[in-house]
Amino acid sequence: MSSPVTEFMTQVPHSVGHDMNLETAKDMMLKYSCHHLPVLDGGHLVGVLSDTDIRVAEKYKSNHDLRVEDIMTDEPVVVEPTTDVFQVAMLMHQKKIGSVIVSATPDSPWGIFTATDALHYFTQKGENS
């Protein structure tokens, strides 16, 4: 049984600007209890910032001078909204990434699908077996 990734993604997630101060982005993650934030420049997707990116940056440099664009992943993985959630989870596993961006269509807004969403899918599927 196939399930499109749109059924489990977060629609129109919180996002940050590429030139935002890293401390502000970190505060947003805490406020909204999220681990990944799409990064936008003029409304266009330019990257993804993860809590792991922030933790690594904090180890090597004072993050007071850093901007989101200094540490973000600048080539986020983007999938189509009709892609099967299992295929997306496999892709994330193969690439060792914690999130993918789900592209928008005229019928569906863009979103983000995370490892937490994948766990939700698999546990729900296990309960229904």
> How many angstroms separate the Cα of 69 from the Cα of each of 3, 60, 108?
34, 16, 28
**How does DSSP classify residue 104?**
P
Prediction pTM value: 0.88
The amino acid at 102: V
Q: What is the pLDDT of residue 61?
A: 66
Distance separating alpha carbons of residues 48 and 60, to the nearest angstrom = 20
How does pLDDT run across 73-116, given as a tens digit for each residue?
999 999 999 999 999 999 999 999 999 999 987 777 899 999 99
Mean pLDDT of the chain: 90
Q: What is the pLDDT of residue 98?
A: 95
Average pLDDT of 1-12? 88
* pLDDT > 90 in the chain, percent: 74
How does pLDDT run across 32-80, given as a tens digit for each residue?
999 999 999 998 999 999 999 999 888 876 656 789 999 999 999 999 9
